[in-house]
Amino acid sequence: MTPAPPASPLSITAIWAHHHVADGSHTLGASATDRAGNPRTAARVVIVDNTPPDTRITGDSTPEIAVASATVSFTGIDNLTPADNLAFSWRLDGGGWSAFSGATAAALSGLTEGAHTFEVKARDLAGNDDRRRRPGRSASASDPRSPRFRRPAARSAR
């Protein structure tokens, strides 16, 4: 650049602890004055989202099913992320969590006789996970409201 600027450009990074700030829009501001006394201010609007989404089971098989498969559908709501932009992860019987995706149903197959616990959680665009892992109508170790599917033993002919 000709002529050279009178001083080198300056870049500053700041860390802001937002976990104790209310959700919503906030304006952050910074002011600086150079050696010649020239003031400069800058402002940036940021959106804080510390609230995790709330996950709900919207449809599932009856608590007792007579087949080895079931489909469970779910949705979520969030204070800032539209429902269509939430991602979901689920697991069966305390196994590993599925990868987060936009799918709002899980097809379960290979269900053996006995009780099965289904859990689902949502993640919003800010990366907040639903810590309650709330599935619909039954109980699990992590949430007494988690749904359980029970595949009864086959009845013997009399």
141-155 pLDDT tens trace: 333 344 555 554 544
Residue 121 lies in a domain: yes
Residue type, 26: H
- pLDDT score, position 146: 47
Residue with the larger pLDDT of the pair 141 and 50: 50
Residue 38 lies in a domain: no
Residue 75 lies in a domain: yes
Residue 101 lies in a domain: yes
Q: Please state which of the ranges 69-73, 105-109, 154-158 shows the lowest mean pLDDT.
A: 154-158
Residue 83 lies in a domain: yes
Closest to 76 in 3D by CA, of 117, 108, 107, 121:
121
Following DSSP, what letter does each residue of 80-137 receive, concatenated? SS-GGG-EEEEEETT-PPPPPBS--EEEE--PPSEEEEEEEEEE-TT--B-TT---SS
Domain count for the chain = 1
Residue 93 lies in a domain: yes
Residue type, 57: I
Residue 34 lies in a domain: no
pLDDT digits (tens, 9 = 90+) for 2-43: 667 666 777 777 788 887 889 999 999 988 888 889 999 999
Q: What is the CATH number of the domain that holds 84?
A: 2.60.40.10
Residue 27 lies in a domain: no
What range does the domain containing 102 cover?
Answer: 54-151
